[in-house]
Chains A and B, each alone.
Chain A
Amino acid sequence: MSENKQKLISVTIDGTPVAVPENTTILDAAKLLGVYIPTLCHHEDLCVAGNCRVCMVEVKGSRTLQASCATPVSDGMEIYTNSRLVRTARKHVIELLLSEHRGDCLRCYRNGNCELQALANEYRIDQGVFIDLHKEDQVDISSPAIQKDDSKCIRCQRCVRACTELQSVSALCVAHKGADMRITTFWDKALAYVVCTNCGQCVAHCPTGALTERNYVEDVWDAIYDPTKHVVVQTAPAIRVSIGEEVGLEPGQRVTKQLVTALRRLGFDSVLDTDFTADLTIIEEGNELLHRLTKAIRDKEDVALPMITSCSPGWIKYIEHEFSNHLDHLSTCKSPQQMFGPLAKTYYAEKIGVDPKDMVVVSIMPCTAKKFEAARPEMMASGLRDVDYVLTTRELGLMIRQAGIDFTKLEEGDYDSILGKSTGAGAIFGVTGGVMEAALRTAYELITGREIPFPNLDIKPVRGLKGVKEATLKIEGTLEKYKFLEGVELKVAIGHGLTNARKIMKQLESGESPYHFIEIMACPGGCIGGGGQPIPTTNEIRMKRSNAIYDEDEKMQYRKSHENPEIIGIYEDFLKEPLGHKSHELLHTTYVKREKN
């Protein structure tokens, strides 16, 4: 017997004996027996709170009920999950929450996907015993990305834990006490005026409708119905592996071609792909990296290294607040969404003969921060607002359901050309490590003229859900132009979730960052776990979406951004060269220093 073998604890749950490893919670032990204990404040992404008290169980010999999410099993424990005492208490707790919550279910954005509603339904709480306590609060719509309605908040603090633990943003906090206790921001300010990054992890973790995205579904319908408008839609890489969940499919279904058909059916005039501009990002950003490496290594010039990716607008706002002295490390490349916008309203508009003023660009994003990004004053490279509306995966799901489209019966469709063709490299932007992998596939080839030496081009070390991933790539056999890189060990790091970003930046701040290139995504798992993705999102679901993305990559005709024929075309036709004049005008951006607190 090995010494570190975990000790097993024997307990009985509702009369059935079970042995579980030490430190297992009662909740998890019950799960093993197929006993479902309802929860509300519990979320597997977050630390245990034990404050909603919905998951209480009776433990023989204990004076009080125990929160099963917060209580580890101990030897000989006799647990009852459905005794009279438990049921009465649980029902009371649900009723209390309902008395505090503005139960305007029929008019609620989360109607049908609300954990409180589900519980109320399960316990058939159809007659309120208690006095209504909810306050008619003004909904905070100061932010273009997230709206907060305190009257629907049940104080479970999942949002606060997401904001502080997962994201280290701490824009949200628990303040005041007793009857006045509430979830708020610094000095009760509106969301637009605090350090919120708009990442939407609070929204993704909110069990009710207290935190939701600002929804622009009606605006998009209006644009579609307007015969004078040419409505262009772009779809982010991560949408095609998650939209299925919004229309009743299991997580991890790859539905790219049905998605295209659905968008056409909805009435979008051009159905194009953000994956295309993801490929374009790789060309621009890859060249920018090489440019910086050349300056640093060959010319011994002072240039900011490591270079850090700039695709994730939640991350951008985070660094602007939190590490504003290090903005020069950010790649100046716009995100694929914002590269797409100006290209649509210049290059594409011209090609299809539409006046850019009559063009409406809509993006479907797994992200709430993209709504903020599109509204940034810098994002008017076309002379107009480059991206007019940003919808989350959830909002698109809503539109598809409203339009009565049965996703399972859709014929397959292909993206329109141009700005519609993409490679596997573009697809994997949607998952943590994907930008890095795509960049390395191209950069290595630019430097050496050879394919990157990984079987099937799969750069496994940069994949997976580990918080901070590192890889080293020794450069050998360079082309003449990059002779100075011969033998250099290219060090890269990948962080997802802003708490991991923070770790990476603290290291950089201390001057000890060993890397040349860093990829950071604001959300855990990258865009597949974005704040605009279907709810729920858990690690299991993140893995399924992520596997689907790699599957998409694998099946693509082209797997390297620089081989995308439309990318080659746009440089020949329009942009001329990476980092060229046109690129700078349309595809690169600047950043803003913001207050830390």
Chain B
Amino acid sequence: MVMTREEKLARINAHQERVNLIFEKIDTQGLMEKVMKLENNKILEYIKESGLKGRGGAGFPTYLKWKLAADQKSDMKYVICNADEGEPGTFKDRKILEEQADKVFTGMAICAKVIGASEGYVYLRGEYNYLVPLLTTRMNAFNEEMNQLGLNFTLKLRSGSGAYICGEETALIESMEGYRGEARNKPPFPVEKGYLGKPTVINNVETLVYCTMIVMNEGGKFKTFGTEISTGSKVFSVSGDADVEGIYELELGMTIQEFVDLFGDGDTKAVQVGGASGFCVPRKKFKETIIGFEGVPTGGSMMLFNSTRSMYHILMNYMEFMQEESCGQCTPCRVGCQQLVKGIQAIKHKKRPATYLDDLVKLAKTMRVASKCGLGQSVANPFISIVENFREEIIY
């Protein structure tokens, strides 16, 4: 199906207008007044029925996270907004924070009310420091509003300093506590022992906005989108060889083919879904691959590559990224990433035989099950999916 750029944009816009949850302007203050009168169980019920799963990429059911934290007995609980958006190819949280900070904060306040937290933090990646003045202003106003509403909840802003791994929730907590951002052993999970040892809910920026909208719509609208397994919509960051790059809210459950038809440049050979830690889908699998938890899950990063691109360079770029951004504490990730980088280089330069690629795939499979946290575990995703689908490009 070949469309002109205008036709594509018209279709995309129509789709977006139909969905329109994240960027819809709403009266957050009015909503919070309503929320204050709502039973916590009712709120939890809305979230549960929505089927909302974490939008950061891991896809943990939001309802369950909130419920587990709510059930903890503790003098202090925290809500943290994970705005450490570091996945290559994602930039939607930046736009959400820029345009809809109040809806993010409202999501945090709703969570705080449900779980009984009195402090909230937004952990913003250092690369987005230019947002600090704006967010500080909005945050101060929001805190004042909560105070007037009688909700004992105060928001604070924390900045990162250039460390992708801090997007992993326990690494984020370590960083907030003043340590190196190294992932913790789990259990215990943050909902039991999080920031400063207290029960903590950590949600992605987008997840929190969906919570706000789900509560506002009393459970409606969101769950009318998507599929049974992947309910709702999702904000996508589209980049690469795309006709219409940018940030788009779309229903979950479309196939890569449908996606490529809308966004591609007509020559798409592969789509990297989920960034440097995600999966590469080659052209031959576009039709059968669904974007969502039943197919390829994503934190929103959609990178399109056309036939002029070398998949070797793409893989190399991802692997070098991981090699630098690994925290370095666990063996499979620290040493494994280095081996993958050095390994594909050696094959390319004929220092190792092509069959060494099979050893590297086995190693990547070990990294998937043996690494301590999601970073090391997910290195295998791009590695294996690119190597298996573009073996020749890697070797020759």
* Chain A residues proximal to chain B, CB less than 8 Å: 48-54, 56, 63-65, 67, 70-72, 85, 88-89, 92-93, 96-97, 99-100, 129-131, 133, 154-155, 157, 174, 176-181
Contacts and interface: CB of A to CB of B under 8 A. Distances in A.
B362 A88 contact: yes
Q: Across chains A and B, which 8 residue pairs bring their CB atoms closest together, nearest first? A: A181-B328, A96-B335, A70-B185, A92-B366, A50-B185, A51-B329, A89-B370, A178-B326
Contacts of B343: 130-131
A468 to B, nearest CB: 24
B187 to A, nearest CB: 7
A502 B287 CA distance: 66
B163 interface: yes
Nearest to B321: A178
Given A88-B362, A177-B328, A96 B336 contact: yes
B25 interface: no
A102 B334 CA distance: 16
Interface in B295-337: 323-332, 334-337
Nearest to B367: A92
B370 A65 contact: yes
Given A53-B371, A71-B185, A133 B339 contact: yes
16 contacts: A52-B331, A53-B331, A54-B331, A64-B377, A65-B369, A67-B372, A89-B369, A92-B332, A93-B366, A96-B331, A131-B343, A177-B328, A178-B325, A179-B328, A181-B326, A181-B334
Given A85-B369, A92-B363, A131-B342, A178 B324 contact: yes
B12 interface: no
A50 B327 CA distance: 14
B318 to A, nearest CB: 14
A179 B366 contact: no
Contacts of B359: 129-130
Contacts of B335: 96-97, 99-100, 133
B346 A131 contact: yes
B328 A92 contact: no
Contacts of B326: 177-179, 181
Interface in B166-200: 180, 185, 187
Nearest to A93: B331
Given A100-B338, A133-B339, 13 more contacts: A50-B330, A53-B332, A63-B369, A97-B331, A99-B339, A130-B363, A133-B335, A133-B342, A155-B329, A174-B329, A179-B326, A179-B328, A181-B329
Interface residues of B, number: 35
Nearest to A65: B369
Nearest to B339: A130
Nearest to B345: A131
B362 A179 contact: no
A72 B363 CA distance: 27
Contacts of B185: 48, 50, 67, 70-71
Given A89-B369, A131-B346, A178-B325, A52 B338 contact: no
A53 B363 CA distance: 14
Interface string B355-384: 000010011001011111000010000000
A172 to B, nearest CB: 14
A67 B187 CA distance: 11
A64 B327 CA distance: 19
Nearest to B327: A177
Contacts of A96: 331-332, 335-336, 339, 363
A92 B380 CA distance: 14
A154 B329 CA distance: 10
Contacts of B165: 177
B339 A155 contact: no
B334 A178 contact: yes
A131 B343 CA distance: 7
Contacts of A51: 329-331, 372
A179 B338 contact: yes
A178 B327 contact: yes
A490 B366 CA distance: 61
Contacts of B366: 88-89, 92-93
B52 to A, nearest CB: 21
Contacts of A181: 326-329, 334
A50 B336 CA distance: 17
Contacts of B377: 64
A99 to B, nearest CB: 6
A268 B140 CA distance: 78
Contacts of B338: 100, 133, 179
Contacts of A157: 329
Contacts of B163: 177
Contacts of B325: 177-178
Nearest to B343: A131
A157 B328 CA distance: 11
Nearest to B330: A51
Contacts of A97: 331, 335
A28 to B, nearest CB: 15
A179 B334 contact: yes
A176 B328 CA distance: 8
Nearest to B359: A129
A179 B323 contact: yes
Most buried by B among A49, A54, A63, A96: A96
Interface string B6-27: 0000000000000000000000
